[in-house]
Amino acid sequence: MNFLSCLFRWQKVSFHYCSNSYQILEKQSTSESADRSQKSFADFCKECVPPFCSLSPVLFNGHLQTAWTQFDIEDIPVYYKRKLFDSDDSSYSGQFSVDFVVRPCVDNRVVSQTKPDAELPARTTFFEPQEEIDFISTEDSRPILLVPHGMSGGSHETYIQHALAPLVTHEGGWEACVINSRGCAGSKLTTGLLYKARSTWDFRQVVSWFKEQFPNRPLFGMGFSIGAVMLTNSDMTMRQYLAEEGSNCPLRAAVMVSNPWKLDFASHALQRSWIGSEIYSKILGHNMKNIIKRNKDIITQTLRIDPEAVERINYVQNFDRSEIQCPTWGYPTEDAYYRDASCVDTMLAIRIPFLAIQALDDPIATKDAIPFAEFNKTPFGVLCVTPGGGHLGWFEAGTTNFLNKLAKEVDLDESIKLNKNLDIEPLVKGEASKERLQLFNPQRLQPGNLKLRAKL
């Protein structure tokens, strides 16, 4: 890094992608006879993401960038209305909450309605019955962004509000919602089932609900950290939902920000350093412990959880080990859980265009876990990397441009048809038969294969 880069914290963006990249077709212009431009998805991403990102010289390493996402005091006026969903999957019964972004307004009547309900985050209230009816009755074709958040987070997180604010303005023209993981963002558990990094069933239900309620609206996904893992693991992006013409694919495109990819790598990286163990792991463990304590009665009634063991949780590894996740889901060790929930293999099953944004100095989504080789094999994804930025430290400009241009300038339906025969490059070259190459199945273990271990 040269002197000017150190002084101004300019971070050069590098891109990693397959040579046989997904092709996109721009929307038809007003002139029917005009030829439509066609370009690779990789070139499209390079146009959307600035070649350099500028970071504050005060935040001179990944730890400071990561901390700033938690302590940024900028007031971002994003308002939500909350809807509760009853799970439609009997294996994972219970309720979960979805926070829908609503337009901010200075009108006194509207402001009074957005005062938070008890125990809900700021600017968040439940839908009134008529409000929900009015919301569902809308029949326009505005794009909708579905957001799974990071570990123990929710719609109130600053990084989410930074991402949503420029999209949901009148000029942005987007609708958006945040799917809160069970027990997060002030939501209460109605069964003992919490969530894990392979908890994709609630996300799947919300996508299906949107497709039914708003058939004319294109759906997009953007996941942050563990939410990016959930989005990547979700079969909403995968082959079986692509019809011959692509019209049944629930999501049109996706963005993954600070995805940990290989959770065992991330866990071991946290334990190798003092700041990883005593700061990050303790904070994450404390946050998850608080969720358990707030819902202790229902959890201890349903699961074989020792309340005294919960009190002893100091690190996120304790939470994942013998205290909560392993006994809940039947994993023998936390590393078995991490390997199962990791999403490098399932990333190769994605069949829609997706952009991943990572920083090499991310202390949580460590660089050792970034699947560079896999991005060189899948034509559907582009990996965008900077030397600095920390965990969730930068992404707004690139993701906003990417989503806006994709929704407004690209003919998504025709692009799907154009790429209907596109597939990943085989990892091994040779004379093997087509059937032999298909033995690798990145969807070999779906979330439903591990069942909840309830009390006997």
- Which residue, 192, 231, 185, 205, is CA-closest to 349? 231
What CA–CA distances, in Å, run from 301 to 87, 188, 189, 324?
A: 19, 15, 12, 14
pLDDT reading at 62 higher than 70: no
What DSSP element (H or E) covers 203?
helix 201-213
Are 226 and 282 within one domain? no
Are 170 and 280 within one domain? no
What DSSP element (H or E) covers 372?
helix 372-375
Domain boundary among 305, 325, 341: 341
Q: Is residue 208 part of a domain?
A: yes
Q: How many secondary structure helices (H) and strands (E) does the chain include?
A: 21, 14
pLDDT band at 369 (very low <50, low <70, confident <90, very high): very high
pLDDT band at 134 (very low <50, low <70, confident <90, very high): confident
419-445: pLDDT as tens digits: 988 887 665 444 444 444 444 555 544
Q: Is residue 281 part of a domain?
A: yes
Q: Count CB-CB contacts under 10 A for residue 213.
A: 13
Helices (H), 251-351: 263-272, 274-275, 282-294, 296-302, 307-311, 316-318, 325-329, 334-341, 344-347
Mean pLDDT: which of 150-164, 308-322, 323-337, 441-455 is highest?
Answer: 150-164
SS (H, E, C) 130-146: HHHHHHHCCCCCCCEEE
Q: Is residue 447 part of a domain?
A: no
Q: What is the pLDDT of residue 433?
A: 46
Q: Is residue 222 part of a domain?
A: yes
The residues assigned a catalytic role are: 225, 362, 391
Q: What is the distance between the alpha carbons of residues 60 and 63, in angstroms, rounded to a whole number?
A: 8
**Structure tokens, 119:** 């125990």
Helices (H), 20-142: 41-48, 62-71, 108-113, 129-136
Are 189 and 125 within one domain? yes
Domain CATH for 231: 3.40.50
- Which residue, 224, 281, 258, 262, is CA-closest to 62? 258
What CA–CA distances, in Å, run from 433 to 20, 304, 429, 440, 442?
A: 21, 48, 11, 13, 19
Are 144 and 223 within one domain? yes
Do 237 and 231 contact (CB within 8 A), yes or no?
Answer: yes
Q: Is residue 379 part of a domain?
A: no
Are 143 and 255 within one domain? yes
Please indicate whether residue 316 or residue 322 has the higher confidence score (pLDDT).
Answer: 316
Q: What is the pLDDT of residue 58?
A: 64
Helices (H), 115-195: 129-136, 158-168
Are 72 and 131 within one domain? yes
Say which residue the tokens 């582009």 belong to. Answer: 382
Q: What is the pLDDT of residue 1?
A: 41
Are 289 and 244 within one domain? no
Given CA atoms 444, 252, 259, 161 in this order, what sign does their dihedral have? negative
Are 329 and 399 within one domain? no
Instruction: Give the chain's domain count.
Output: 2
Q: What is the pLDDT of residue 107?
A: 41
Say which residue the tokens 């990693």 belong to. Answer: 16
> Which residue type, as a one-letter code, is found at position 199?
S
Q: What is the pLDDT of residue 452?
A: 46
Domain that holds residue 140: 45-260+390-409
Do 379 and 18 contact (CB within 8 A), yes or no?
Answer: yes
Q: Is residue 319 part of a domain?
A: yes
Are 213 and 68 within one domain? yes
Q: What is the distance between the alpha carbons of residues 324 and 329, in angstroms, rounded to a whole number?
A: 9
Q: Is residue 37 part of a domain?
A: no
**Structure tokens, 449:** 């294969």
Are 106 and 228 within one domain? yes
Are 220 and 331 within one domain? no
Are 185 and 307 within one domain? no
Q: Is residue 39 part of a domain?
A: no
pLDDT reading at 117 higher than 90: no
Q: What angle do CA 171, 206, 129 make, to 5 degrees?
A: 75
The overall average pLDDT reported for the chain is: 82
Residues 126-155, mean pLDDT to the nearest whole number? 89
